């Protein structure tokens, strides 16, 4: 493993992600987790002799802060495979023809390390110029072409885990059926999912969960507080927990020596939050419409 880490570090483009997280750290997203769980042994020798082809990859798109990157980190321990993060920005940092050699080097390295998971984070950032308007002399088109051809032809067990926030930047060829095994859309969390996410983050603080009315908190983080169709994203729920902890701490240092995180802190801090879902409502409605036709 150490040798593999060395090889990856030398490329300067790939990053080895050492994560101890597992799928229980992701609240909700049950369809995605089931899909991943079902494939957890598909890279093993016994799967091959059973006639199974190694899964090619998936594309995860959706609302920011709802667990796409988190899931990428968790799948590595769930599948017991190394996770390499490909930084598309770094691919394009070279001068002249080196973007193309960078992508080839990244893909060759992933193959050498395989079986592994290649996490292409915010894939749209690197590829948005590849459908014509890039103005980069065709570099992004060629990089994209190399990536697509590789994805089509690869035989080594490299699972591509691509994440994207903005599907408008993605060339249609990438979204075509068959390129990825599946395209998932990650939406804002439902009431039950918000409850679970809050439970995960409060538990991390080593507080007694029985002191908190999670059902009430889940409701407070949604339509009840913010109005129709507006709920907090996973990252916002995490930030709400952190804010409430600071609130409790400030009560403690301001004289209430027995103060600890309580429902009262959550009820105070929620009033300071302006949900992303409220600020970018129209954008998310469009995204959801796209997802209805194109993703799971």
Please report, as ranges, the residues that interact with ligand ATP according to CB under 6 A: 26-29, 64-70, 163, 165, 197, 200, 234-235, 238
Q: How far is the CB of 231 from ligand ATP (least distance, A)?
A: 12
Comparing every residue's Cβ against ligand ATP, the nearest one is 234
Nearer to ligand ATP (CB atom), residue 111 or residue 182: 182
Collapse the DSSP code of 275 into the 3-class scheme (helix H, G, I; strand E, B; otherwise coil) and give the result: coil
Buried b (16+ CB within 10 A) or exposed e, 85-96: bbbbebbbeeee
Nearer to ligand ATP (CB atom), residue 150 or residue 185: 185
Nearer to ligand ATP (CB atom), residue 27 or residue 82: 27
Task: For tokens 């409060």, name the residue.
Answer: 202
User: What is the rounded (10 degree) CA torsion for 22, 28, 31, 37?
Assistant: 20
Q: How far is the CB of 250 from ligand ATP (least distance, A)?
A: 23
What are residue 17's DSSP bridge partners? Answer: 83
Nearer to ligand ATP (CB atom), residue 66 or residue 261: 66
Q: How far is the CB of 9 from ligand ATP (least distance, A)?
A: 23
Nearer to ligand ATP (CB atom), residue 69 or residue 146: 69
Please name the residue ranges forming H helices in the chain.
2-11, 30-38, 45-49, 68-79, 88-91, 98-113, 123-127, 139-153, 172-175, 191-204, 214-220, 223-226, 234-253, 263-269, 276-279, 281-294
Q: How far is the CB of 121 from ligand ATP (least distance, A)?
A: 8
Q: How far is the CB of 131 from ligand ATP (least distance, A)?
A: 21
Nearer to ligand ATP (CB atom), residue 87 or residue 238: 238
Q: How far is the CB of 254 from ligand ATP (least distance, A)?
A: 29
Task: For tokens 């690869």, name the residue.
Answer: 154
Q: How far is the CB of 251 from ligand ATP (least distance, A)?
A: 25
Nearer to ligand ATP (CB atom), residue 27 or residue 171: 27
Q: How far is the CB of 295 from ligand ATP (least distance, A)?
A: 14
CA distance 126 to 152: 19
Sign, CA torsion 240/190/168/289: negative
Nearer to ligand ATP (CB atom), residue 154 or residue 195: 195
Q: List, in order, residues 6 or more apart from 19 with CB less than 8 Å away.
A: 73, 74, 76, 77, 83
Give residue 233's Cα distance to chain centre.
Answer: 13
CA distance 296 to 294: 7
CA distance 283 to 152: 32
| Pairing assessment for the beta strands 158-164 and 116-121 based on DSSP bridges | parallel
């Amino acid at each position: 493993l150490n040798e593999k880490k060395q090889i990856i570090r030398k490329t300067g483009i790939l990053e080895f992600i050492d994560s101890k997280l597992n799928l229980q750290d992701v609240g909700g997203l049950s369809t995605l987790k089931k899909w991943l769980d079902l494939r957890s042994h598909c890279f093993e020798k016994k799967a091959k002799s059973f006639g199974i082809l190694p899964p090619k990859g998936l594309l995860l798109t959706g609302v920011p802060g709802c667990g796409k990157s988190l899931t990428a980190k968790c799948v590595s321990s769930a599948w017991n495979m190394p996770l390499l993060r490909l930084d598309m920005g770094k691919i394009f940092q070279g001068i002249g023809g080196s973007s193309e050699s960078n992508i080839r080097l990244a893909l060759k390295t992933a193959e050498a390390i395989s079986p592994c998971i290649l996490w292409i984070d915010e894939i749209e950032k690197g590829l948005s110029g590849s459908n014509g308007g890039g103005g980069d002399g065709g570099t992004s088109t060629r990089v994209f072409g190399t990536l697509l051809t590789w994805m089509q032809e690869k035989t080594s067990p490299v699972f591509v885990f691509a994440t994207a926030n903005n599907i408008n930047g993605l060339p249609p060829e990438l979204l075509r059926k068959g390129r990825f095994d599946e395209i998932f859309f990650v939406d804002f969390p439902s009431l039950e999912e918000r409850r679970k996410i809050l439970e995960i983050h409060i538990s991390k603080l080593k507080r007694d969960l029985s002191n908190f009315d999670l059902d009430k908190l889940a409701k407070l983080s949604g339509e009840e507080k913010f109005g129709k169709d507006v709920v907090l994203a996973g990252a916002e729920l995490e930030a709400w927990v952190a804010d409430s902890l600071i609130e409790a701490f400030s009560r403690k240092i301001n004289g209430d020596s027995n103060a600890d995180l309580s429902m009262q802190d959550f009820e105070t801090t929620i009033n300071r939050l302006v949900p992303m879902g409220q600020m970018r409502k129209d954008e998310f409605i469009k995204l959801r419409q796209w997802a209805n036709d194109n993703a799971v």
